[in-house]
Amino acid sequence: MKKWPIVVGISSVVTAALAAVAGYELKTLKSTYYDILSDKVQSGDEVRAVLLTDLHERNYGDDNIKLIRRVKKASPDIILTAGDMITASEHPDYESSIALYKELLKIAPVYASYGNHEKRMSEEKNYRKKFFAYYKKLEEIGVRWLLNDSIKINSSVILSGLDIERKYYKKINRIFYPPSQMKHDLATIPQECFNIVLAHNPRFFSTYAQSGADLFLAGHYHGGAVRIFGGKVGVVSPQFRMFPKYSRGLYEKHDTKMIVSAGCGSHKVNLRINNKPEVVVIDIHGNLV
């Protein structure tokens, strides 16, 4: 008896099942909650932040109503977008993105930083004119861009955005982001305050941990697309790097924490298994007695 028809049949069933799971997960949002405690945060200065990353122009329901409702349900004090909310292309869907930001601003103040896609569009000739029209429109409606800049959220909490050069996103011949460059790029970190930094690329956590900041927020890896071993390990990044070290979750090094979002969309690796798109909700408050 020939075995190959059985093998082909089983493979087809498995492939179809995986495609069904991936199709379902790409359309399904979840919320992930984190508690961050620090004695730097004084009573009354507690902050609830919603973090969105890597949407890549995906829509959840008409006019992104499902995403908006999920953010609204979290009742955030601030909304943070840490890059790749749009995709570098000749015909990006800026109108959809602008409409989303308008709705988010009805919920809470919105602060945005670049990912590699925004960075690319801000620099390449084919994209620059359209991109900066989009950039200015978001400014006009009330979005605050943070590009190697910072703002005080309250007397205890400072928010910064880290904008790194494109060479640090290389897929081949990758280079390291050194602490000396970070000190040049990143705004001054007042140690008496709790410092949050939007930093799209989580790869350089060892550098970030030398900044003096308390919490970095990243995305970029889309959770590793497929997660295995009970969801603990991400398999592949959108840059086709296998088993990226910081793919999703909370990490800690020295006195610095980093939360990496699995993101809300997909790009290139248009696949999610055991890795639902997520809205991240972060409560930052003083140490509990």
Strand ranges in the chain using DSSP code E only, listed in sequence order = 30-37, 47-52, 78-81, 110-112, 144-145, 149-152, 157-161, 194-198, 215-218, 227-228, 233-234, 249-253, 256-260, 278-285
pLDDT of residue 4: 53
DSSP alpha helices (H): ranges in the chain? 4-26, 65-74, 94-105, 116-123, 125-141, 179-185, 205-208
Residue 90 burial (C-beta neighbours within 10 Å; 0-12, 13-18, 19+): exposed
Owning domain of residue 75: 4-285
Q: Which amino acid is at 28?
A: T
For 70, the token pair is 């999920």
Decide: pTM greater than 0.85. Answer: yes
Q: Which amino acid is at 46?
A: E
pLDDT of residue 12: 39
Task: Work out how many domains the chain is built from and give that number.
Answer: 1
Which of 268, 267, 253 is CA-nearest to residue 211? 253
pLDDT of residue 274: 85
Residue 217 near residue 112 (C-beta atoms within 8 A): no
Which of 264, 287, 286 is CA-nearest to residue 277? 264
Instruction: Count the neighbouring beta carbons within 10 Å of the beta carbon of residue 195.
Output: 25
DSSP alpha helices (H): ranges in 175-275? 179-185, 205-208
- Beta-bridged to residue 157, according to DSSP, are 194
Per-residue pLDDT of the chain in tens (289 residues, 90 and over written 9):
555 554 434 433 333 334 444 455 566 899 999 999 999 999 999 999 999 999 999 999 889 999 999 999 999 999 999 999 999 888 888 999 999 999 999 999 999 999 999 999 999 988 989 999 999 999 999 999 999 999 999 999 999 999 999 999 887 778 999 999 998 898 778 889 999 999 999 999 999 999 999 999 999 998 877 888 777 877 887 777 888 889 899 999 989 999 999 999 877 667 888 889 999 999 999 976 4
pLDDT of residue 242: 86
CATH of the domain at 54: 3.60.21.10
